[in-house]
Structure 1
Amino acid sequence: MSASEEKKFVIKYVFGSLKSLPVRGEMIYGSEVLYGPVEKHYNVFWNIRLHKYESDIIPFLVCKSFQTGNWSINAVSDVFIGEKLLKTGINHEFEQNRSSSRTLAIEKDDFPEYGIDESAQIELHVKIDKMTGNFRNFDDDVAKELSDTVLVVENCKFYVNKMYLSLHSTYFKSLFLGKFAESEKSIIELEGILVMDFHIFLSVIYGFIDIADA
């Protein structure tokens, strides 16, 4: 893979309320961790998840793809806590049944060195080495060529066809063909919906994934 073809991105989030984060095992799984916001990179959804083990904290890189068929991603990350490098070259392997991968534990004794108190800034520099599978996209050249409008959700653009969506959704039929101001717009921003949920919705409408897999 040439330098121009390298798939790289940076994901960063400041986690607060660390002192109130329960130790793993004290509460149900969903309450034992903190979640960063979901971001879309290379047609896959990513976020950082923070665990607490005894007095240490451990960032996890989370990767999710919604599609029919097997897929896998091999990636490498460099981890920064605040502005300080924690570790380079951490390998991650993701697939359908493995959506998260740990980085490195930060021990409580090292918190002052990394500026950790009530909050911690976790920053991962991620490079994707290999992707296998058909990662469906709504903003590639084919989607742009066949679209007549752009839907924007959480700053992510989805190039779609008004008539096709209108045939499969009463909401979009009213939006595109009804007496709304949006019916005349070529770019429409949708609010009150998460980008990952909307990607799944469109994938079902376009037949990229089965409803049972969504």
Structure 2
Amino acid sequence: MCEKPILHYFNGRGRMEPIRWLLAAAGVEFEEKFVDTREQYEKLLEDGSLLFQQLPMVEMDGMKISQTKAILQYIASKYNMYGKNLKERVVIDMYVDGAFDLMALILSHFFMPESEKGKQLELVKKRAVNRYFPVFEKALKDQDFLVGNQLSWADVVLLEAILMVEEVHDDVVPLFPRLQDFKERTSEISTIKKFLQPGSQKKPMADAEYIAIVRKVLQF
């Protein structure tokens, strides 16, 4: 029996959350080792566990895998969520990168001064409405999923992005009926539905305690 993947990161969303989502969607149970102190982080550095001295890191299949996209692409490939051919993969990658760009705008605002947060959230809304969501709305015109009409990791990342936008702007997603339908359908996929239930390993929005820990560990 294969050992469960072990996820090394802070006890919060950040760059690890899409990895949690993808493992959950694939039905893969995983363990987490939270990095709460500078000493824990330095131990990982001393052990040579962090390729570029960065988190997240996932222990899986006898490897210590760093870099978020490398981790995600490995998981997607292993669990048949990365398209049927090279052309489908590059389309999946484009959709994922777009969703990540939008998500990054949301994640970054938590670390901004209070005086800048409102402006950043308005930018999130503007980009979601005018740049990112129209692309996904068009892609879902004649199919249930973004690529090849089967679930890929692009769909998992898109659902995460939709829910993140809803948390800060609940009036955006209703402007896109196909995205609204996509959210409702994909949220009912059994593995994803389980991950969305209270008590799962899905992490909440960043709070002051989480931000303080990240700043303390990474010293910024």
TM exceeds 0.5?
no
Please state which band the TM-score falls in when normalised by the shorter chain: under 0.3
Larger Rg: 1
Higher strand share: 1
TM-score (ref. length: structure 1) = 0.27
TM-score (ref. length: structure 2) = 0.26
Q: Flag the structure with more relative contact order, 1 or 2, with Cα contacts below 8 A and sequence separation at least 6.
A: 2
